[in-house]
Amino acid sequence: MQAVRYSGYGKAPELVEVPTPVCPDDGVVLEVLATGVCRSDWHAWRGHEPVALPHVPGHELVGVVNRVGRDVHDFAVGDRVTTPFVNGCGVCELCRGGDAQVCPHQTQPGFTHHGSFAEQVALFAADTNLVRLPAGMDPVVAASLGCRFATAYRAVTAHGRVGDGDWVAVFGCGGVGLSAIQISIALGARVVAVDVSEVARRRAADLGAVPLGSDDAAARVVEVTGGGAHVAIDALGSAATEVAGVRSLRRRGRYVQVGLMLGPDARAPLPWDAVVAYELEVYGSHGMAARDYPAMLELVDSGVLRPAELVGRVIPLSAAPAALMAMDSPAAETAGMTIIDLTQGW
Ligand SMILES: [Zn+2]
Ligand SMILES: [Zn+2]
């Protein structure tokens, strides 16, 4: 089969012929229909997170079940499915409790094994991790739910508990940030969106957010919201946005860290004075378990949530190497998500 693969960190990925994946006993092999190009794939390619080389990226995937392992009960050949980027083991206490997103024995397609920038991809623990798509849902739209939209959905609903009339401050207007803006507004919230890029701010404003530059952002959010946001979400992942996010909250506000804190940012300080004096809640958010997808898919199917509006470009598999490498520019996502459509050939 054809796959996009790189042999070293930062080395140009190439479209190459590789063997089809082996089907795990508890898993499936999917024929990939569509798959998103995500900043996490870029981080792995750049060596910020170790992967076994050579490596095939891709984790925001939609496909048709092509082969089924002997221990799988709930899925069959021909099912159209998606999956969270974190796949739980299916047997530990956390997985059985519905929290596969933090399973200690998790697998991640495109990180722990070869991913979906390929004609086929293997997934483990299918009964725990596969999500059936509503009939007629466009694979490109479903792939755009990928890690970014689903992650934003859980940050806004489960951790942020965003409600009607709340003020939400979103820091970073890439894929996750724009998703969080759209979801918050759909749930009746008012949103302030902070980004250094004017193009990103314009996209945020198009979705209905009040756009703000990054200069003195916390104080300006407090001003715009009349005393601070109820919920702040760092969708970028940096010391600067994290500190500004916490400082932009009103008393008893909720802070959600979604953007990965990598490298030196992993040890960024948290403004504990505000956390204590304001009684802030601070959450880390790591994707969303398959169990929680149906509620989100229902809102997409009924048109309340419109992930299609966040898709910027649809490309063939052969254009994936260039799209991944283009993420060297921090502005790569400001034109919207890039989705690889494998139904059009490569
Ligand atoms: Zn588990
Ligand atoms: Zn992703």
Ligand sitting nearest the alpha carbon of 124: 1
Residue pair 159/102 in contact by the 8 Å Cβ criterion: no
Backbone torsions φ then ψ of 127, nearest 5 degrees = -60, -30
Rg of the chain over all Cα atoms, to the nearest angstrom? 19
Cα–Cα distance, 57 to 42 (Å, whole number): 9
CA of 122 to the centre of ligand 1 (A): 18
CA of 175 to the centre of ligand 2 (A): 9
Helices (H) then strands (E): counts for the chain: 12, 15
CA of 125 to the centre of ligand 1 (A): 9
CA of 57 to the centre of ligand 1 (A): 23
Ligand sitting nearest the alpha carbon of 147: 2
Which residues pair with residue 284 across a beta bridge? Answer: 257
pLDDT, position 147: 84
The residues whose Cβ lies within 5 A of ligand 2, an ion, are 38, 40, 60, 147
pLDDT by 10s per residue, the chain, length 346:
999 999 999 999 999 999 999 999 999 999 999 999 998 899 999 998 899 999 999 999 999 999 999 999 999 999 999 999 999 999 999 999 999 999 999 999 999 999 999 999 999 999 999 999 999 899 999 999 988 899 999 999 999 999 999 999 999 998 899 999 999 999 999 999 999 999 999 999 999 999 999 999 999 999 999 999 999 999 999 999 999 999 999 999 999 999 989 889 999 999 999 999 999 999 999 999 999 999 999 999 999 999 998 898 999 999 999 999 999 987 776 678 899 999 987 7
pLDDT, position 344: 84
Vertex 203: Cα angle to 86 and 207 (nearest 5): 80
| 3-state SS assignment for residue 275 | helix
Cα–Cα distance, 106 to 252 (Å, whole number): 33
Pairing of strands 190-194, 210-212: parallel
Residue pair 316/289 in contact by the 8 Å Cβ criterion: no
CA of 60 to the centre of ligand 2 (A): 6
Residue pair 84/289 in contact by the 8 Å Cβ criterion: yes
Residue pair 244/194 in contact by the 8 Å Cβ criterion: yes
Q: Is the dihedral of CA 318, 344, 126, 159 positive or negative?
A: positive
Cα–Cα distance, 290 to 178 (Å, whole number): 22
Count Cβ atoms below 10 Å from residue 15 Cβ, excluding itself. Answer: 17
Residue pair 235/177 in contact by the 8 Å Cβ criterion: yes
CB neighbour list of residue 341: distance below 8 Å, 6 or more residues apart: 33, 34, 139, 140, 314, 315, 316
Cα–chain center distance at 85:
8
| 3-state SS assignment for residue 107 | strand
Cα–Cα distance, 343 to 331 (Å, whole number): 28
Cα–Cα distance, 211 to 233 (Å, whole number): 15
